[in-house]
Amino acid sequence: MVTRIALRKTSIVSSDRAIQGGELARLKKVNERMTSLVKTLEDLKISLQKENQVLKEGYAEKSKVVEKLVKSHEDHEKVIENLRKLVEEDEKQVSELRKQIKVKDEVLAKAAEEVEKVELVCSEMVAKSEAIFQAYKKALAAFGGEPLPLPPAAKGPEGVLRL
| Among 97, 94, 116, 95, residue whose Cα is nearest residue 105 | 97
Residue 134 amino acid letter: Q
Kindly report, residue by residue over 48-69, the tens digit of the pLDDT. Answer: 999 999 999 999 999 999 999 9
**pLDDT: which is higher, 11 or 106:** 106
At residue 137, the pLDDT reads: 84
**What letter would DSSP give residue 146?**
-
Contact 114, 157 (CB under 8 A): no
Residue 19 amino acid letter: I
pLDDT interval class at 9 (50, 70, 90) = low
Reported pTM: 0.45
Contact 156, 116 (CB under 8 A): no
Average pLDDT, the chain: 84
pLDDT interval class at 86 (50, 70, 90) = very high
In this prediction, residues 78-103 reach a mean pLDDT of 96
Find the angle CA(146)-CA(150)-CA(151) to the nearest 5 degrees: 150
Report the C-alpha gap between 92 and 24 in whole angstroms.
Answer: 97
